[in-house]
Chains A and B, each alone.
Chain A
Amino acid sequence: MADRPTTAAAYRALLGAQLRAQTQYRFSFALDTAASALITLLDVVSVLVLFRVTPALAGFSFTDSLLIAGLANAAFQLCDMCVGNIDTMREYIRTGRFDAVLLRPLRVLPQLVFGDFSPRRIGRAAQALVVLVVALSLADVTWTPARTVLVVIAPLSGAVIFGAVFVAGSTTAFWFVESGEFANAFTYGGRDFTIYPVGIYPGWFRAVFAYSLGFAFVAYFPGLALLGRPDPLGTPGFLPWCSPLVAVLAATAAALVWRVGVRHYRSTGS
């Protein structure tokens, strides 16, 4: 019965220790916060820069593209806030520190997430939501009850899809210890992919990223539904509303891969 409060206290202690450690070096902390706030804006800034030299991207105007970029950014930052740390897992595996994680009487995934938490991630996510609100106010959206629900659900399901890719990607380190940046192709690559209308990508590349990995459901399809535009690529009209379903599927698949990966783990030793 006393089990639950103790677990929560353990996570609180992990989080508190991280916060204290990172605020020890004040100058570094301040610079870190400021620079990472600007980096979060970079995706949206690059859309602005590209539209300085072109009036449209694959038939999408500036405000339409900005809405897609805003949705993608909000989803990515929400995901990064929660599970972005999983990125460091390959270091845990390579150095053998993962042994210590497995030995503690806490669940593995939450430990990794809370053990390296940076408070600036909350700020980043908040900033991304502000950008999304600005993009929504600029875009030509006719609000209906269904679209109001969608605009809340879309960043959340997008974040779950990104989270699934992050978790599944991190498991490659269980099999290939020096897998290095391999997973980045799909995590950060996925972020870049979702910023733009999927029509700009060549056919097979689109088939892999947009439909097989589900990245079209992060921002492109919800964006179409919000704008009330049919897909210029001619996909069925119900797809733009399917993001939550895809998120559930992605999360289930990632959970399975993670479980297999952890069982497969053999310490690297040193």
Chain B
Amino acid sequence: MGTVSTVLSPPALRTGMALAGAGFRRWATYRQAMLAGAFTNTVFGFLRTSVMLAVAAGAGGVAAGYRGPQLATYVWVGQGLLAVVQLWGWTELSDRVRTGDVQSDLLRPVHPVLSYLAADLGRAAFALCSRFVLPMVVGLIAFDLYLPHRPATYPLFLLSMLFATVVSFGVRYLVNLTAFWLLDIRGVIMAWLLCSNALTGMYFPIAFLPGWAQAVLWYATPFPSILQAPVDVVVERGTAGHQATVLAVQGCWAAVMLAAAVVVQRRAERRLVVQGG
């Protein structure tokens, strides 16, 4: 049934924009928490840049194909992206499953995956204006960062961040959906915490791993598409062709994760037990 044309119809787009706007305003309310978060990202920026520059120095200037300034950009863009893709700490949906509030999501005329996605994109837009920009400014002042040489990289980076947010949303949504089966998703959250730290490029660049591990991670898992991909796009790793490949991989994973969210959502609804009373 023309799902795609329904989603892209003017009324549906208006609803999506309204939900995104609400997501933006909701997160813009917590300014103190935003500043605290940006401060923490900045401190971690200093910590990780020091480590990466020591690695580059030890390796004689180039580590796994990255020069010092590229590694510094990797760290600061990574710290800014953490909040944009909201790598950690989203349990809103699973909390609603546990309390039974999720029933009101299911009664709405908008598909739950779409309404949560729209709100999440609004949140990401606010994070981009605040949590991304603040540490980036500090990083630019304090370190010699690599800035893109090709003008086309800037719009491609924005697109890559959009894909990254969608992929991250898909993973988080699926993690939350397990609450329909498990109720207590502490274990799943912990497993996601492990993957998000070790496999997205957060702890170390994926390129520091052996070649076979890199290939498996990039093509068989969505994780590098969440963090390493936008970073590799902005530091112009490899040729413009490599940039295009990275974006294509991300685009595929964004589509796969959204489709998976919709399919699992349908199955989860059959498991619905409304708690409380």
Contact A39 B59 (CB under 8 A): no
Chain A residues within an 8 Å CB radius of B37: 180-181
Residue in B30, B32, B187 with the greatest tally of chain A CB atoms within 10 Å: B187
Minimum CB distance partner of A59 in chain B: B58
Please report the C-alpha to C-alpha distance between residue A28 and residue B186 in the assembled complex, in whole angstroms.
6
Contact B63 A54 (CB under 8 A): yes
Is A56 an interface residue, CB under 8 A from the partner?
yes
Contact B32 A179 (CB under 8 A): yes
Chain A residues within an 8 Å CB radius of B197: 39, 42
Contact among A176, A181, A185, A196 for B54, CB-based, below 8 A: A196
Q: A32-B190, A179-B36, A182-B36 are in contact. Are A50 and B184 (CB under 8 A)?
A: no
Contact A202 B187 (CB under 8 A): no
Residue in A34, A53, A177, A196 with the greatest tally of chain B CB atoms within 10 Å: A53
Chain A residues within an 8 Å CB radius of B183: 25
Q: A39-B194, A54-B58 are in contact. Are A178 and B30 (CB under 8 A)?
A: yes
Contact A202 B50 (CB under 8 A): yes
Contact among B30, B39, B50, B185 for A205, CB-based, below 8 A: B50
Q: How many residues of A contact B (CB 8 A)?
A: 45
Interface of A is mostly: helix
Interface size band for B: 35 or more
Is A200 an interface residue, CB under 8 A from the partner?
yes
Contact among A49, A178, A205 for B204, CB-based, below 8 A: A49
Contact A31 B191 (CB under 8 A): yes
Q: Which of B41-49, B101-109, B224-232 contacts A (4 or more CB under 8 A)?
A: B41-49
Contact B193 A53 (CB under 8 A): no
Chain A residues within an 8 Å CB radius of B33: 178-181
Is B90 an interface residue, CB under 8 A from the partner?
no
Contact B43 A189 (CB under 8 A): yes
Please report the C-alpha to C-alpha distance between residue A95 and residue B48 in the assembled complex, in whole angstroms.
33
Please report the C-alpha to C-alpha distance between residue A30 and residue B182 in the assembled complex, in whole angstroms.
12
CB neighbors of B among A22-71 (8 A) = 22, 24-25, 27-36, 38-39, 42, 45-46, 49-50, 52-58
Please report the C-alpha to C-alpha distance between residue A171 and residue B161 in the assembled complex, in whole angstroms.
36
Is A162 an interface residue, CB under 8 A from the partner?
no
Contact B187 A42 (CB under 8 A): no
Chain B residues within an 8 Å CB radius of A36: 190
CB proximity of A33 to chain B, nearest CB, Å: 8
Is B40 an interface residue, CB under 8 A from the partner?
yes
User: Interface 1/0s, chain B 199-227, versus A by CB < 8 A?
Assistant: 00001100011100000000000000000
Chain B residues within an 8 Å CB radius of A258: none
Please report the C-alpha to C-alpha distance between residue A42 and residue B200 in the assembled complex, in whole angstroms.
13
Chain A residues within an 8 Å CB radius of B58: 54-58
Minimum CB distance partner of B32 in chain A: A178
Contact A42 B198 (CB under 8 A): yes
Contact B204 A50 (CB under 8 A): yes
Please report the C-alpha to C-alpha distance between residue A122 and residue B112 in the assembled complex, in whole angstroms.
40
Chain B residues within an 8 Å CB radius of A200: 50-51, 53-54
Contact B209 A30 (CB under 8 A): no
Please report the C-alpha to C-alpha distance between residue A233 and residue B55 in the assembled complex, in whole angstroms.
18
Is B188 an interface residue, CB under 8 A from the partner?
yes
Is B64 an interface residue, CB under 8 A from the partner?
yes
Contact A38 B194 (CB under 8 A): yes
Please report the C-alpha to C-alpha distance between residue A53 and residue B198 in the assembled complex, in whole angstroms.
17
CB neighbors of B among A181-199 (8 A) = 181-182, 184-186, 189, 192-193, 196
Is A201 an interface residue, CB under 8 A from the partner?
yes
Contact A201 B50 (CB under 8 A): yes
Contact among A31, A34, A57, A189 for B40, CB-based, below 8 A: A189
Contact A31 B198 (CB under 8 A): no
Chain A residues within an 8 Å CB radius of B182: 25, 27-28
Chain B residues within an 8 Å CB radius of A205: 46, 50
Contact A202 B63 (CB under 8 A): no
CB neighbors of B among A55-94 (8 A) = 55-58
Chain B residues within an 8 Å CB radius of A35: 187, 190-191, 193-194
In order of increasing CB-CB distance, the 5 nearest A-B pairs are A31-B187, A54-B58, A25-B184, A28-B187, A180-B33
Please give the residue numbers on chain A whose beta carbons come within 8 Å of chain B beta carbons, in ascending order.
22, 24-25, 27-36, 38-39, 42, 45-46, 49-50, 52-58, 176-182, 184-186, 189, 192-193, 196, 200-202, 205
17 A–B pairs (Cβ distance < 8 Å), ordered by A: A22-B186, A25-B186, A27-B182, A31-B187, A33-B187, A39-B197, A42-B194, A45-B198, A49-B203, A53-B208, A55-B59, A56-B58, A178-B36, A185-B39, A201-B50, A202-B50, A205-B46
Question: A30-B187, A31-B190, A54-B63 are known contacts; what are 7 more A-B pairs with Cβ within 8 Å?
Answer: A25-B183, A25-B187, A28-B184, A36-B190, A53-B59, A54-B58, A176-B32
